[in-house]
Structure 1
Amino acid sequence: MTTNRRHDIDALRALAFLLLILYHVGMYYVADWPWHIKSPHAAAWLRWPMVVVNVWRMDLVFLVSGVAFGFLSRGLAPLALIRQRALRLLLPLVFGMAVVVPYQAYAQGVANGLVAPGFAAFMARYLVGGPWPKGAFDGSDFPMTWNHLWYLPYLFTYSAALALLTPLMRSAPILRVRAAFTGLRRWRLLVLPALPLMLYTLVLAPRFPATHDLIHDWYLHALYFTVFLYGYWMGIDEGIWRELERLRGWSLALAMACIAAFIALRVTDGDAQIVVWASRVLRAAYLWTAIVAILGFAHRHLNRPWRWLDWANESVYPWYMLHQTLIIAGAVALASLRLGPVLEPAPLVAITLIACWVLTDGLIRRFRWLRPLFGLKPIGDVGIRTSEPLPKCLRMPARNGRKVGPWPSGK
């Protein structure tokens, strides 16, 4: 059996979710940004490093998910694909909402003074749908909350929509649009895909602020579905990946210029309409050029069979599901030690990473009944494989004597 993999996509997916862990630790410490609980040592200076990551972090995740979806959908009928996606995304979502997420809601409710201490009593009430005082915790208006697991229903919605649109996506007009997109070169690849993102930021963002409730999130839906579609289109087209690699230096320089100008405008805190519009345009330009730079550097430097990659591919889904609850539990446990803003963050990161590793490698990956609850495939069925070699026109070029296949694993 021939196994073809896109190692850069696999590696980028794992690293993006590792960055998500560090970002959520930062959310505990950054001042003036609402989160489930906040450190008494919250710092205002963290806002700008967080902005540098915040603008593109989830857009990158959805683009990589779009690439993976393109490979996963090969040879599957739309309804079969939707069933597969439901099993891999919605089953872990329901389990996560019932088992993994509740401690986050409990800790936030206690911190807000709207939930009585006692986790067992909280769980007995949570599992029957409350009710809770208004604003007790994020999502307290609903029977259960999904908190950081919102990515799963969003990804399922986009995957199901694209699966149902398969006949349209294979029509001649859409194939011409796809060919035009993958045929973008030089400045066009840096500018044209950013234009829809700019339009959403100018028109939708002021009217539909982020909610993560799936129903009213029209700005984020437009943004995330577009980059998801970009990833789906990019897929195995070796021409656009070579161009992303070639433009990596230019895109990085443009991204740095855009974010510097964006921060400069935000620091001035001007409320003139032209300043607001300019900052939104710069934000969208930075989002896309940063993604182009990341994809280009990843394709250049990560497209190899790293020894840690198989382990990372098996671990990333459980780590994603577990990490935020572990961050909050760690923060609560460390608060009583009063370590201060310098000494506390390092053990909080260490506790989160070690707990993710112990629970995943020591428990979740070892039990067949636990694996699907955390989005893992059955033992012995890891990664995406094909029993036939790819047609020559679809193969990625060899590099340094190694064949580089286009198939990633992934959710």
Structure 2
Amino acid sequence: MHRRYDIDALRALAFALLILYHCAMLYVADWGWHLKSSHLSETLQLPMLFMNRWRMDLIFLISGLSVHFLLRNGSLGRFVAQRSWRLLLPLTFGCLLIVPIQPYAQGVANGLVEPGFIDFLIRYYRFQPWPKDAFDGWEYGFTWNHLWYLAYLWVYTLVFAALLPWFRNAWGRRLYGAIASLRGWALIALPAVPLAIGSILLQPHFEETGDLIHDWYRHAIYFTVFLYGYWLGNDAGLWRELVRLRRRTLVLALGLFGVYLAMLKLLPEDVSDPVQYTLWATRSLYIWAALCAILGWSHHLLNRPLRWLPWATEAVYPWYVLHQSLIVSIAYWILPLKFGPLAEPVIVLFGTLAGCFVLHEIIRRVPPLRPLFGLKARRAKVEWPAVVPTAMPAVDLA
């Protein structure tokens, strides 16, 4: 089988965007985060809102695509075991050794944790509650912060594995056939309907907690797009249609975002249920139109052996694990130094990129470190053949 370069490239670009997004969280006004700079910008709210509504949906959709490809090359049991190893080991390692600098910095900044990182770790590893609002996750005694994605993806993998026999029976094949036959406006609009229904039914009752157990609204959205990725899989007809519709979906996504933004700005905070449901339905249509545009344009532009792609494909997982702790630790040290509104974000961004690059170069060369950051234990030389448009790879995407 032949490798789908566009999916590898899209995965790398999606996580690169995540790093940029988290750097910007230091500076966007009125949005809470672990640390905040004194140089806050309301202007940043617009591009951040534009990305916020679909950035994690895209990542979970790519994860669903990876499941489709991986299941073509082995048994379900082996797939679950391998995915569990590659998700739970970095999650556990990251929570214990990579993430703790984040609650420490946040707790010190909030005045609820005494300075001294070693003393903090001794207390942190007791896994007992901290003073209220010391840091995100204080009530549990620890936090996984940005690594929540790994926990959610592991649970979705198990749920998917349990449902797979049902997806493969006669009813499931009919459902897949119906999805694969979507064309034109049906492909643009119908998959947004479950997203809208999930929002209307669940968002009023479940806050976006990030604690896995009580996060049912986000589960409904993320697991749905995860399944969309699996069903999208290797259907050449669907991919051709996404490419054909790419200009239309781009214009539609931009227009829907404009409508959604106008509703947010012009409507009062307390609106009637029908108006609120309309707002959420518009947001769901925007999310799916944006995903269709991204998939169509990436398949059109990126499905070729780009020179940077083999390195980026390997770098994604370690960079993801490392990046937010680097952002927070760099910010913790430089925010009190009062750099200017230009120099400070430049130092944070380039310091994060440099730290990720250097640490990844070390990790990839030290065999015991590789699995701790989601890399395969043995590094294999990547040799990608020429693209055959109707063929799909066995690609491993987190």
TM-score (norm. length: structure 2): 0.95
Amino acid at match of 2:374: G
Q: Secondary structure at the match of 2:337?
A: coil
Deviation of the 1:203 alpha carbon: 1.6
Determine what percentage of the aligned residue pairs are the same residue. 51
8 Å CA contact 1:10, 1:409 repeated in 2: no
Query: 126-135 or 61-70: which moved more?
Result: 126-135
Which of 41, 55, 58 is residue 57 of structure 1 equivalent to?
A: 55
Which of 150, 159, 162 is residue 161 of structure 1 equivalent to?
A: 159
Matched, 1:286 2:286: yes
Deviation of the 1:165 alpha carbon: 1.9
Deviation of the 1:269 alpha carbon: 3.7
Instruction: Please name the residue that 2:354 is paired with.
Output: 354
Deviation of the 1:304 alpha carbon: 0.5
Instruction: Please name the residue that 1:204 is paired with.
Output: 202
8 Å CA contact 2:3, 2:387 repeated in 1: no
Instruction: Please name the residue that 1:319 is paired with.
Output: 319
**1:104-136 per-position Cα deviation (integer Å, ceiling 9, x unaligned):** 000000011110000011011112224411221
8 Å CA contact 1:63, 1:230 repeated in 2: yes
Q: How far apart are the structure 2 equivalents of 1:310 and 1:398?
A: 18
Instruction: Please name the residue that 1:229 is paired with.
Output: 227
8 Å CA contact 1:265, 1:275 repeated in 2: no
Query: 364-373 or 164-173: which moved more?
Result: 164-173
Q: Which runs of 5+ in 1 are unaligned?
A: 390-395
Amino acid at match of 1:380: R
Which of 60, 83, 86 is residue 85 of structure 1 equivalent to?
A: 83
**1:8-62 per-position Cα deviation (integer Å, ceiling 9, x unaligned):** 0000000000000010011111111111111111222221211100000000000
Deviation of the 1:358 alpha carbon: 0.3
8 Å CA contact 1:60, 1:291 repeated in 2: yes
8 Å CA contact 1:88, 1:375 repeated in 2: yes
Amino acid at match of 2:210: H
Q: Secondary structure at the match of 1:31?
A: coil
Q: How far apart are the structure 2 equivalents of 1:338 and 1:397?
A: 51
Amino acid at match of 1:243: E
8 Å CA contact 2:183, 2:241 repeated in 1: yes
Amino acid at match of 1:178: Y
8 Å CA contact 1:7, 1:408 repeated in 2: no
Deviation of the 1:397 alpha carbon: 7.8
Instruction: Please name the residue that 2:366 is paired with.
Output: 367
Deviation of the 1:252 alpha carbon: 0.5
8 Å CA contact 1:14, 1:312 repeated in 2: yes
Amino acid at match of 2:364: R
Q: How many residues align?
A: 396
Deviation of the 1:292 alpha carbon: 0.2
Q: How far apart are the structure 1 equivalents of 2:317 and 2:289?
A: 27
Q: Secondary structure at the match of 2:341?
A: helix
Deviation of the 1:380 alpha carbon: 2.9
Amino acid at match of 2:14: A
Q: How far apart are the structure 1 equivalents of 2:382 and 2:394?
A: 9
Instruction: Please name the residue that 2:307 is paired with.
Output: 307
Amino acid at match of 2:36: K
Q: Secondary structure at the match of 2:72?
A: coil
Q: Secondary structure at the match of 1:305?
A: coil
Deviation of the 1:161 alpha carbon: 1.2
Amino acid at match of 1:375: G
Which of 6, 12, 15 is residue 13 of structure 2 equivalent to?
A: 15
Instruction: Please name the residue that 1:407 is paired with.
Output: 394
Deviation of the 1:321 alpha carbon: 0.5
**1:330-387 per-position Cα deviation (integer Å, ceiling 9, x unaligned):** 11222133122233212211001010000001x11111110000010022347799xx
Q: Which runs of 5+ in 2 are unaligned?
A: none
8 Å CA contact 1:5, 1:407 repeated in 2: yes
Q: How far apart are the structure 2 equivalents of 1:28 and 1:172?
A: 50
Query: 164-173 or 227-236: which moved more?
Result: 164-173
Does the C-alpha gap of structure 1 residues 15 and 272 become closer, same or farther in structure 2, counting only changes over 3 Å?
same
TM-score (norm. length: structure 1): 0.92
Instruction: Please name the residue that 1:392 is paired with.
Output: none
Q: How far apart are the structure 2 equivalents of 1:93 and 1:13?
A: 19
Instruction: Please name the residue that 2:271 is paired with.
Output: 272
Q: How far apart are the structure 2 equivalents of 1:343 and 1:381?
A: 40
Q: Secondary structure at the match of 2:25?
A: helix
**Aligned positions of 1:183-262 closer than 5 A:** 183-262=181-260
